[in-house]
Amino acid sequence: MSQYDVAIIGSGPGGYVAAIRCAQLGMKTAIIEKYSTLGGTCLNVGCIPSKALLASSHHYEEATKHFEEHGIEIPGDIKVNLEKMIGRKQAVVDQTTGGIDFLMKKNNIDVFEGVGSFKDATHIKIEGKDAGDIEAKNIIIATGSKPSNLPFIKLDKERVITSTEALKLKEIPKHMIVIGGGVIGLELGQVYRRLGSEVTVIEYMDRILPTMDAALSKELNKVFKKAKFKMMMSHKVQSVERKGDEVIVKAENKKGEVVEFKGDYCLVSVGRKPYTDGLNAEAAGVKLTDRGQVEVNEHLQTNVSNIYAIGDVVKGAMLAHKAEEEGVFVAETIAGQKPHIDYNLIPGVVYTWPEVAAVGKTEEELKEAGAEYKVGQFPFRALGRARAGGDLDGFVKILADKKTDEVLGIHMIGARCADLIAEAVTAMEFRASAEDISRMSHAHPTYAEAIKEAALAATEYRALHV
């Protein structure tokens, strides 16, 4: 029987990063993955393929709606070849997952293909291609999550679908009904809206992106309405029924009236849930919570001292980069180091266009906590770079402590915000004040100037360009 210092069950961003860091620290490491490709949900049917389709559909929208104003004239019809677009997406996925194979080989990590389940606290049974048993001194559970569903919805994966199926449709929907106004529903809804689908978003809460700062929700809702999305807030879905090639969704609005929506596809995107099927955690004595998460302490250690858990399968935001941080954290903890993660400073990003990104506290959270704070906000429209590029929507909003000026939260919506948020994280990691950011030189012309201007606005209302 093969013996290891560390065995990791699951090869998503949390699992494979944990494996690499363990190997870097000199531990003999194994990783177990039930699918034939590494990378988990994120690389195979999540973050990476959705960004590929967002990029392709963005190019199409630019060509059909904005090229002409730049003096670029394309004769004849511009057509979408969906099969080719999906093919490119798959090529991106294949290249990315192949890169993980390379990293495993480079770091001398043994990869086992099959379902890993506990025999006891130090032994794992593998069923599948690489069937057998292995022994490990330490085990990291990184089994991730899968799409949630509503109890009365039957997912046929043909017309009533999850994000997985939405990434490989054979046709452009005439009318896609999206249940859930969160990150996944909005991103995939935008892909198909750009390609010509009518899109209706049905959300139970009173706004899209309900966990983000309300100002971001309001701005993105405005942009989506301008793009002719039908945005149905405060609607409680009651039933989803398929009749042939038609899907009928019934929902109750805030007046208590039942309204009906008809489309040819229904994307159910109501969040994700932890995945522990087949893990046999009880054989190792590992406790799960009522929500199906693996219970961990502040060291991401389960109630069994040599078993850890990371990523979507534990509490906290279900984000690939959060899982990566936790993977490194656990590897270094096992090695006897003292790593740290500040969960308040893990950014959230929505890859629609405009992009939405945030880190730290929302204004709603600060109000609820009774904190004294000040707000600085600056519109992208006032930036020369935004006008030059034609991306005018959005703003940067900085929340700072009223007395100390320490930045408490940074929220942004606009072009390239997915990248700009890293500056916000860096500033907050070093406990910058709004004035600190306002006194840092930002290259001109850039989108990043909006962060400096918002910081100036939060510092005695000193923004220069509004």
Active site residues: 444
CA distance 397 to 404: 18
Q: Which of 397, 396, 341 is CA-nearest to residue 364?
A: 397
Query: What is the C-alpha separation between 284 and 281, in angstroms, rounded?
Result: 6
Angle in degrees, CA 287, 291, 292, rounded to 5: 50
310 alpha carbon, distance to own chain's centre: 16
- Strand, helix or coil for residue 305: coil
For 387, the 3-state DSSP assignment is: helix
What contacts 183, CB < 8 A, 6 or more positions away?
209, 350
C-beta separation of 264 from 161 below 8 A:
no
Q: How far is it, in rounded angstroms, from Cα 208 to Cα 210?
A: 5
Cβ neighbour number for residue 73 with a 10 Å cutoff: 7
Cα–Cα distance measured from residue 290 to residue 286, given in angstroms and rounded to the nearest whole number: 13
| Edge-to-edge strand list for the sheet holding 230-232 | 160-161, 265-268, 175-179, 198-202, 230-232
Tell me the C-alpha distance between 344 and 361, whole Å: 8
Amino acid at 329: F
Residue with tokens 């793009």: 227
In b/e form, how buried is each residue of 429-458, taking b as 16+ CB within 10 angstroms? eeebbbbbbbeeebeeebbbbbbbbbbbbb
